[in-house]
């Protein structure tokens, strides 16, 4: 299954919120949707959900106009929303039925998902009596109950303790493995890196950058090498002496690590060969890649 958002434009009154947004997400993989607050993520998601109509552009599933009556979409909004004063099983069943389940199916699914979230004991409790993290788990259960083919998660991990976060991660990984299309929006980059193969960064209503995370990282100049070794103090004078014309700078970077900046990435193999011929005790030799955080900040800083 492939979800494609094609050249979407959307304005609210005078304000142009989305300017030519295109993203593609595949089944069995998660796409990270990144952007600063107010960049247009939620609007994009709402257009996919059919809450707003785009002024221009299309939402396609496997190349055809999306038919929301036949495709099950699970959405977990950033602003958590359920009824605080209604029994958990009642509202879960209600939402599942609105998404097309029969009354019986919804009861079964409710039991199954509460069990999966280890929340069965709260079945007949009112939502407001639960802790924030537990409410979060109920919210995820509500999202996944209809066994969605497209899952949209907006900050699913906020407010969870590490054990619950682990539980949620397992559930989401299961859904991805099951072939669902997952759109994942978060400001916690570590989760994005953990789940998503690809990302799309939206900045001021436009796609600033998109693609596989590894490709994006590779697109940065790979001219810095980090070498971790007990002998790091000996390494820097050594490389400066051996390759004086090819190396512009050597810096100590934290414990046991030196970062070597070369004039060109092409010198990487020579550097490796030179170091390996010596008797240095090297733990790690790797190209310095930018972190997702760096990439995010670079693409979304004002004026870029």
Q: Which stretch binds another protein (CB under 8 A): 17-25, 74-82, 253-261, 278-286?
A: 74-82
The DSSP-derived string for 214-246 is HHHHHTS---EEEEEETTHHHHHHHHHHH-TTT
Long-range contacts of 287-292 (CB under 8 A, 24+ apart): 287/222, 287/224, 287/225, 287/226, 288/224, 288/225, 288/226, 288/259, 289/217, 289/218, 289/220, 289/222, 290/217, 290/220, 291/189, 292/189, 292/192, 292/193, 292/199, 292/213
By beta-carbon proximity to another protein, the closer residue of 95 and 216 is 95
Q: Does 181 bind another protein (CB under 8 A)?
A: no
Q: Does 180 bind another protein (CB under 8 A)?
A: no
By beta-carbon proximity to another protein, the closer residue of 36 and 80 is 80
By beta-carbon proximity to another protein, the closer residue of 114 and 208 is 114
Candidate list 79, 121, 279, 281; residue touching another protein; CB under 8 A: 79
Helix axes 103-116, 132-144, angle to 10 degrees: 140
Q: Does 220 bind another protein (CB under 8 A)?
A: no
> Considering the complex, what minimum distance in angstroms separates the CB of residue 172 from another protein?
18
CA 142 to centroid of chain Cα atoms: 20
Q: Does 147 bind another protein (CB under 8 A)?
A: no
Sites for another protein among residues 35-64 (CB under 8 A): 46, 49-51, 53, 55
By beta-carbon proximity to another protein, the closer residue of 85 and 269 is 85
By beta-carbon proximity to another protein, the closer residue of 77 and 133 is 77
> Considering the complex, what minimum distance in angstroms separates the CB of residue 83 from another protein?
5
Q: Does 80 bind another protein (CB under 8 A)?
A: yes
> Considering the complex, what minimum distance in angstroms separates the CB of residue 99 from another protein?
5
Q: Which residues have C-beta within 8 Å of that of residue 34, sequence separation ≥ 6? A: 41, 185, 186, 187, 192, 199, 200, 201, 202, 296, 300
Q: Based on the number of CB atoms within 10 Å of its own CB, is 228 exposed (0-12), middle (13-18) or buried (19 or more)?
A: middle
> Considering the complex, what minimum distance in angstroms separates the CB of residue 97 from another protein?
5
Q: How many residues bind another protein (CB under 8 A)?
A: 24
> Considering the complex, what minimum distance in angstroms separates the CB of residue 184 from another protein?
17
Q: Which stretch binds another protein (CB under 8 A): 32-40, 95-103, 189-197, 226-234?
A: 95-103
Helix axes 132-144, 88-98, angle to 10 degrees: 30
By beta-carbon proximity to another protein, the closer residue of 126 and 169 is 126
End-to-end CA distance of the chain: 34
In 144-205, DSSP assigns E strands to: 150-154, 181-185, 196-203
By beta-carbon proximity to another protein, the closer residue of 184 and 296 is 184
Measured distance CA(17)–CA(9) in Å, rounded: 8
By beta-carbon proximity to another protein, the closer residue of 153 and 235 is 153
Q: Which residues pair with 274 in a beta bridge?
A: none
Measured distance CA(71)–CA(63) in Å, rounded: 14
> Considering the complex, what minimum distance in angstroms separates the CB of residue 107 from another protein?
14
Q: Which stretch binds another protein (CB under 8 A): 90-98, 174-182, 223-231, 263-271?
A: 90-98
Going by the DSSP 8-state scheme, the letter that residue 289 receives in this structure is -
Q: Which residues of this chain interact with another protein, rule CB under 8 A? A: 13, 46, 49-51, 53, 55, 73, 75, 77, 79-84, 86, 90, 94-95, 97-99, 142
């Amino acid at each position: 299954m492939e979800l494609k958002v094609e050249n979407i434009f959307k304005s609210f009154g005078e304000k142009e919120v989305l300017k030519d947004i295109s993203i593609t997400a595949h089944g069995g993989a998660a796409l990270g949707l990144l952007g600063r607050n107010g960049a247009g993520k939620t609007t994009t998601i709402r257009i996919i959900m059919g809450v707003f109509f785009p002024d221009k552009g299309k939402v396609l599933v496997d190349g055809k106009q999306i038919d929301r009556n036949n495709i099950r979409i699970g959405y977990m909004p950033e602003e958590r929303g359920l009824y605080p004063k209604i029994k958990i099983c009642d509202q879960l069943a209600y939402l599942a039925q609105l998404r097309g389940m029969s009354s019986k199916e919804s009861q079964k699914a409710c039991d199954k998902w509460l069990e999966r979230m280890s929340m069965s004991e709260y079945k007949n409790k009112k939502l407001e009596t639960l802790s924030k993290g537990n409410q979060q788990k109920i919210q995820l259960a509500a999202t996944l109950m209809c066994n969605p083919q497209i899952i949209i998660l907006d900050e699913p991990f906020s407010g969870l303790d590490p054990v619950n976060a682990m539980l949620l991660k397992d559930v989401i990984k299961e859904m991805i493995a099951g072939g669902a299309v997952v759109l994942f929006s978060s400001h916690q980059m570590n989760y994005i890196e953990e789940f998503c193969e690809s990302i799309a960064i939206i900045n001021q209503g436009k796609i600033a950058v998109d693609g596989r995370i590894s490709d994006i990282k590779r697109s940065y100049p790979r001219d810095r090498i980090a070498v971790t070794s007990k002998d790091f103090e000996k390494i820097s004078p050594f490389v400066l002496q051996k390759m004086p014309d090819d190396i512009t700078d050597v810096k100590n970077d934290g414990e046991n690590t030196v970062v070597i900046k070369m004039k060109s990435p092409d010198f990487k193999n020579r550097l490796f060969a030179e170091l390996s011929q010596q008797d240095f005790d090297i733990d790690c030799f790797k190209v310095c890649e930018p972190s997702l955080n760096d990439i995010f900040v670079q693409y979304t800083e004002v004026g870029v």
